[in-house]
Amino acid sequence: MKRPILALLAAASLFAVFGCNVDRELIATRDPSEGEAREEAQEQAAFFQIEGGPELEAAAREYQEYVDAQSALLVDRTKRFAAAVEAGDVEEAKRLYASSREPWERIEPVAEKFGNLDPEVDAREGDVPEAQWTGFHRIEKSLWTENTTEGMDEYATELVSDVERLEREVDGIELQPSDPVFGAVELLNEVSATKITGEEERYSHTDLHDIAANVEGAEVAFETVKPVVSRRDPELVAEIEGAFGDVHAEIEPYSRGEGAWASYEELDESDRRSLSQKIDALAEPLSLVGRVLTGS
């Protein structure tokens, strides 16, 4: 869960408005009576078309397809998790908990766009008044601190209907080409600032599932725009790929195979600091991608 979503939306709409004006201005400021200048302006326009427009739109669509697929996966896995909760199978519910959250964490920057969906699905204890606290972490607490599914049926049912709502809503979302990368940067900043303390999965200590999924989603967002960024700033691409490599190298030792991760309690202060530094070192060059895409 994350709050500074307004900044993301503002940045995205700024791109939408500003991006077009820049192109048009380049053409308009040239004297149309001069044939040569006009030709140059047309070339400029064509350049933007080839280099930016359709290719970036395709990138946005590609990311949109990823969001569709992940939200479908989220519904599938959450249904299985909810079924275990409703059946009173504590062990099975615990086993399915972290993996059912992964698709959510991969597309978290987008999931957060839908009003109160994010708090309903992903609020931590204390984020909202106790009586309104629902979602994954409500059930997490019961499973890990009380070792029971008792009283959790209604939360499980609601959780399924919430993720189904997400799946429906993402169908109609219109992303700007730079939205996914802006969102990824915000999310990585949240990882290194707050998630790194283990607050997200304070009862189950499955934080590495979330963090790995956040990084995966960020990588997909970057990959979709990478061809455009490579042509404009190949050094930046090399820097970002190196930083992704460093993050992977940092978390790899905690992998327990087949999608399993070490308990976050196994990481001491210095392990956590080291991980947060690697995440920061990735978020920083990634934050420059937006500027490269808008050409500003």
For Cu ion, how many residues bind (rule: CB under 5 A)? Answer: 1
Binding mask 254-293 for Cu ion (x = CB under 5 A): ----------------------------------------
Please say which residue, 122 or 186, places its beta carbon nearer to Cu ion: 122
Q: How far is the CB of 43 from Cu ion (least distance, A)?
A: 46
Options 51-59, 120-128, 182-190, 245-253: segment touching Cu ion (CB under 5 A): 120-128
Q: With respect to Cu ion, which residue has the nearer C-beta, 101 or 294?
A: 101
Span from 119-127, 149-157, 201-209, 284-292 in contact with Cu ion (CB under 5 A): 119-127
Among all chains, which residue has been given the structure tokens 């991006």? 19
- For Cu ion, the closer CB: 96 or 121: 121
* In the complex, residue closest to Cu ion by CB: 122
Closer to Cu ion by Cβ: residue 102 or 122: 122
Residues 176, 19: Cα–Cα separation, whole Å: 11
Q: Is 120 helix (H, G, I), strand (E, B) or coil?
A: helix
Least distance in angstroms from the C-beta of 182 to Cu ion: 17
CB 227 within 8 A of CB 55: yes
Nearer to Cu ion, 82 or 191 (CB): 191
Core vs surface per residue 88-103: b (16+ CB within 10 A) or e:
eebebbbebbbbbbbb
200 or 293, CB closer to Cu ion? 200
Q: How many CB atoms lie within 10 A of CB 131?
A: 6
Among 192, 207, 200, CA closest to 287: 192
Q: Which residue has the tokens 């275990």?
A: 84
Select 109 or 177, whichever has its Cβ closest to Cu ion: 109
Most distant CA pair in the chain, distance = 79
Write each residue from 64 to 103 as x if it is in contact with Cu ion (CB under 5 A), else as -, in one continuous string.
----------------------------------------
Smallest separation (angstroms) from Cu ion to the CB of 5: 13
Angle (nearest 5°) at CA 150 between 147 and 153: 125
Residue 167 within binding range of Cu ion, rule CB under 5 A? no
DSSP for 131-180, written as a single string: GG--SHHHHHHHHHHS---TT-HHHHHHHHHHHHHHHHHHHT----TTHH
Show the site string, 121-160: x = touches Cu ion by CB under 5 A, - = not: -x--------------------------------------
Contact between 120 and Cu ion by CB under 5 A: the answer reads no
Q: Which of 275, 62, 158 is nearest to 70 (CA)?
A: 62
Q: What is the binding site for Cu ion (CB under 5 A)?
A: 122
